[in-house]
Amino acid sequence: MIVFDKPHALSDAPLHYCPGCTHGIVHRLVAEVMDELGIEGRAIGIAPVGCSVMAYDYFNCDMIEAAHGRAPAVATGVKRSDPNNIVFTYQGDGDLASIGMAETVHSAARNENITVIFINNAIYGMTGGQMAPTSLPGQVTQTSPYGRDVSLCGYPIKVCEMLSQLDGPEYLERVAVNNVKNVKNAKKAIKKAFENQVNGKGFSLVEVISSCPTNWGMTPAKALAWIDEKMIPYYPLGVYKDRSANQ
Amino acid sequence: MAKLTFKSEKCKGCGLCVDACPKQVLALDADTINQKGHHPVKAVKEEACIGCAFCATMCPDCIIKVER
Amino acid sequence: MSEKVLMKGNEAIAEAAILAGYRHYFGYPITPQTEIAAYMAKRMPKIGGTFLQAESEVAAINMVYGVSATGKRVMTSSSSPGISLKGEGLSYLAGADLPALVVNVQRGGPGLGGIQPSQSDYFQATKGGAHGDFHMLVLAPASVQEMAELTVKGFALADKYRMTSMILADGTMGQMMEPVSLDFETEQAPEKPWAVTGTKLQRKHNIVNSLFLKPEELERTNFERYERYKYIEENEVMYEEYMMEDAEICIAAFGIAARVSKNAINEARAKGIKVGMIRPITLWPFPTKQFAKAAETVKQFISVELSMGQMIEDVRLAVNGKAPVTLCNRAGGMIPSPEQVLAAIEDAAKKGGN
C-alpha cells in the first residue's frame, strides 16, 4: 500500500529552491489538496514575483505569472471571468504585504472568492536577503545590516491580524511548516481555504510561516528551530477569522 | 516493514527527513554525490521503518515514496 | 439602416464595447473618462457582465490581465495620469501576448496636470508606454461615430494580433455629443488555445507568462513579436486624406486637432491656398508611407497638435527632410482655434508653399 507519494497536481519539474527551503513543502500541500478535492482540472494558479516566481512550472494546473504584488488583482479577473474556476495565488511576504498590499487588502475586503497562500519567511529571498515587511525587529538582513531598527523602518506587518479587522474575508489562519505536526495542520488549513472557495464562501488566506535557511544564514534544521524560537512568538499560529465557524 | 523509495537525483541533502524520522532510519550518504552536487539521503536501517512518512512530510522536494 | 442616437463619446465607446462582446470592465474613476465606468456600472449587471471598480489603476489593469488570460474580451479605460499607472500592466500584457482594449481619454499633463483635453500622451501611447520593447495598436478617433467604430475594431485587432489596442481619444472626444449609428458588424473572438481555462485533466497545463530567464529565449520572443509588428505596419495602417489631390501644404493632425484643421483648410481653400490634410487614424502603425508619398509633391507640412509637438517627430521621420515640417500647437488643455491653424497655413503659403 502506498502511504506517501508525489501528488498528481505537482509536476515532475525539479524545484529550484535552496536545500531545506520549505516552499517545496507548501507547494506539495497545495497539490495534495488539489488532488483530494478533485479540482486540478479547473484550478488556475497565480504565481508571484519572488522566490516562487516559477511556481507556474511546478503545478500541473493552468498557471499565470503575475506582476509583483498583483496576483490578487489577476486572480480577481480570472475568478470573475468564470466563477467555476478554482483560483489561487501563491505569494511571498514582499509580494503580498509590501508592494501588493493594496491588492491584498481590497481583494479581502471584497471577499473575493479566491484562495491565497501567503508564505511569510521574513525576508526577500529571490533578490538575496533584503528586509521584508515581515522581518522581525532586530533581524539582520542585507538592507538592515545592523538589525531592523523599528525607529527607522517601522514594525513588521501582521497580515492575519490586520485583515481580521475587515468585515470582508471569510477565513484567515496562520500556520507553520517547521515540524510534522505543524505541516499536518498547515495542510488542514490549506484544504479548508480551497473548500471554502469550492463552496462559494469567499476570501480565504493561509499565512504559512516558512523558512529561508540561505538568507537567514542557518542550516535547514536550525532554520526550522528559529521558526519556533523567534517567528512563532511574534506571529502566533491560529485561526484569525472563520466566518462560518462563528455562525 | 515499510518500503522507502528515493528520487536521489532530486535530493538536495537538506537533511530535514533525517531529523524527522523517529526511528533513525535515514542518513545522508557521505559516499555519494548526485548530479546536483549533494549527498542524497539513504535508508541505513530500513528494517526499522514503521512507514509513518514523517520523512516525506518534511521533504521539501517530494523525493520520498513510502509503502507499507 | 439603423437610426442614429445622440450619445457622448465616452458612452459610445462603452456601448460599442458591449456590442463587440465585452462583458468585463475594470476601472477607476478619473476625469474626463468617468462616463465610461458609469455606463458600464449601469449596463453590465443587466447583461450578465462584470463591472468592478478597482482599488487602483494598477489593480484594474491586472484584473484585465487576468480576464484576458482566460481568453475573454476585456477592457479598461482611464485618462492620462491613470494610464501612467497602468503602464506596468501594459508591459506585462505585451510580454505575455495578451489581447486587451485600453481607452485613454487624454487630459493635459505632466503630473496631475489638468482635466481639459490634450494629446500629450502620443509618445507614451505610440512608443511603448512602459518598460521593454513593445507596441500597442493606437487608434485615434475624430468623431463620436469613430469612438464607437474604433472600439469594435480595436477588439478585433487586439484578438487577431494578441496585443493591446489603445483608443487614444481626448477630453473633447469623450465629452462631446453627436449622432451615432451603432449598426455595424462585430467579429466573434477567435479561438484561443493558449488561454488558461482549466486543463480539465485533458491537456498539458497552459502558462501565461512574461518571464524568460534565458536571454536567447527572451530575444526570440522579442524578434517574433516584432515580426508581427512588421506585418501590422504593412497591413493595418488607417488614415484619412482630405483635399490632398493638389495640395502643396499638408496638415498632419489627428482627433480633435483634425476637426479644427478641416475648418481652417476649408477657409484657406476659399482663399485659394492649396492645402490638404492627412489624418492618421492609426497612430501606431503610423501612416509613414502616406506622408512619404505626399512629401514627393507637398512643399510644406504643418503638424497641428494639442501638445508641445510629439507626432511631429513621426511626420519628420516620414518626410525625411524633403520638406519643412512646422508645428502649430496649444498645450495644457488648450485647443488650437481654426483661426490659429489658418494663420499657420497662410504663413506657410507666404514662405513659398504656393
Q: Which residues of A touch C52 (CB under 8 A)?
A: 76, 80
Closest Cβ–Cβ partner in B14, B60, B67 for A1: B67
Contact C323, C295 (CB under 8 A): yes
Q: Are residues C280 and C323 in the same domain?
A: yes
Q: Which residues of B touch A24 (CB under 8 A)?
A: 59-62
* CA separation for the pair C109, C92 (Å, rounded): 25
Q: Which residues of C touch A90 (CB under 8 A)?
A: none
Short-list A38, A23, A31, A26, CA closest to A5? A31
Chain A residues with CB within 8 Å of chain B CB? 1-6, 10, 14-15, 17-25, 28, 179-180, 183-184, 213, 219-221, 224
Q: Are residues C99 and C220 in the same domain?
A: yes
- Structural domain containing residue C277: 240-353
Contact C67 A57 (CB under 8 A): no
Question: Min CA distance, A219 vs chain B (Å)?
Answer: 8
Q: Are residues C155 and C263 in the same domain?
A: no
With cell 488556475, the residue in question is: A44
Question: Min CA distance, A66 vs chain B (Å)?
Answer: 24
Contact C168, C139 (CB under 8 A): yes
Chain B residues with CB within 8 Å of chain A CB? 2, 10, 12-16, 19-20, 38, 51, 53-54, 56-62, 64-68
pLDDT at C354 (0 to 100): 41
Closest Cβ–Cβ partner in A5, A10, A183 for B58: A183
Contact A2 B38 (CB under 8 A): no
Task: Locate the DSSP E strands across C120-163.
Answer: 137-139
ipTM of the assembly?
0.97
pLDDT at C2 (0 to 100): 67
Q: Are residues C162 and C108 in the same domain?
A: yes
Interface test with A, best of B61, B63, B67 (most A CBs within 10 A): B61
Answer whether B touches C (≥3 Cβ pairs < 8 Å). no
Beta bridge partners of C24: C50, C74
Chain A residues with CB within 8 Å of chain C CB? 11, 40-44, 46, 53-54, 56-57, 59-67, 70, 73-82, 84-85, 102-103, 105-106
The CA–CA distances, whole Å, from C209 to A223, C66, C135, C204 equal 32, 11, 18, 15
Q: Which residues of B touch A15 (CB under 8 A)?
A: 60-61
Contact A77 C89 (CB under 8 A): no
What's the domain count of chain C? 2
pLDDT digits (tens, 9 = 90+) for A73-91: 999 999 999 999 999 999 9
Contact C185, C2 (CB under 8 A): no
Interface test with A, best of C199, C206, C213 (most A CBs within 10 A): C199
Helix (H) / strand (E) element for C284: namely: strand C282-284
The whole model's pTM is what? 0.96
Is the four-CA dihedral A221, A222, A228, A232 of positive or negative sign? Answer: negative
Which residue is closest to A185 within chain B, CA to CA?
B57
Over residues B35-54, the mean pLDDT reads 96
Q: Are residues C205 and C127 in the same domain?
A: yes
Contact C211 A65 (CB under 8 A): yes
Of the ranges B9-18, B23-32, C160-169, C180-189, which one carries the lowest mean pLDDT score?
A: C180-189
pLDDT at C269 (0 to 100): 98
Q: Give the 3-state secondary structure of residue A72.
A: helix
Q: Which residues of A touch C201 (CB under 8 A)?
A: 40-41
Residue C109 CA neighbour count, 13 Å, CB half: 19
Answer whether A touches B (≥3 Cβ pairs < 8 Å). yes
Cβ contacts from A onto C, under 8 A:
133
Chains that touch A (3 or more CB pairs under 8 A): B, C
Contact C52 A76 (CB under 8 A): yes
Question: Min CA distance, A105 vs chain B (Å)?
Answer: 30
pLDDT at C346 (0 to 100): 98
How is residue A115 written as a grid cell? 484562495
Closest Cβ–Cβ partner in A3, A6, A28 for B67: A3
pLDDT at C353 (0 to 100): 45
Q: Are residues C136 and C156 in the same domain?
A: yes
Question: Min CA distance, A109 vs chain B (Å)?
Answer: 33
Which residue is closest to A186 within chain B, CA to CA?
B57
How is residue B54 written as a grid cell? 514523517
pLDDT at C352 (0 to 100): 72
Question: What would the CATH number be for the domain defined by B3-67?
Answer: 3.30.70.20
Question: What would the CATH number be for the domain defined by A23-246?
Answer: 3.40.50.970
Question: Min CA distance, A143 vs chain C (Å)?
Answer: 25
pLDDT at C315 (0 to 100): 98
Q: Does C74 touch chain A (CB under 8 A)?
A: yes
Q: Which residues of A touch B57 (CB under 8 A)?
A: 4, 25, 180, 183-184
Cβ-based neighbour number of residue C193 at 10 Å: 9
Q: Are residues C192 and C250 in the same domain?
A: no
Q: Are residues C185 and C249 in the same domain?
A: no
pLDDT at C237 (0 to 100): 98
How is residue B45 written as a grid cell? 536501517
Contact A201, A244 (CB under 8 A): yes
Over residues A240-246, the mean pLDDT reads 90
Q: Are residues C116 and C166 in the same domain?
A: yes
Closest Cβ–Cβ partner in A40, A41, A56 for C207: A56
Given a cut of 70, the residues of chain C with pLDDT beneath it are: 1-2, 353-354
pLDDT at B35 (0 to 100): 94
Q: Are residues C229 and C177 in the same domain?
A: yes
pLDDT digits (tens, 9 = 90+) for C319-345: 999 999 999 999 999 999 999 999 999
∠ CA(C324), CA(C327), CA(C331), 5° rounding?
170
Q: Are residues C222 and C276 in the same domain?
A: no
Chains that touch B (3 or more CB pairs under 8 A): A
Question: Min CA distance, A60 vs chain C (Å)?
Answer: 6
* CA separation for the pair A222, C32 (Å, rounded): 58
Contact C70 A77 (CB under 8 A): yes
Helix (H) / strand (E) element for A64: namely: strand A62-65
Provide φ and ψ at A119, rounded to 5°: -90, 115
Q: Are residues C89 and C169 in the same domain?
A: yes
pLDDT at A247 (0 to 100): 65
pLDDT at A61 (0 to 100): 98
Average pLDDT of chain A? 97
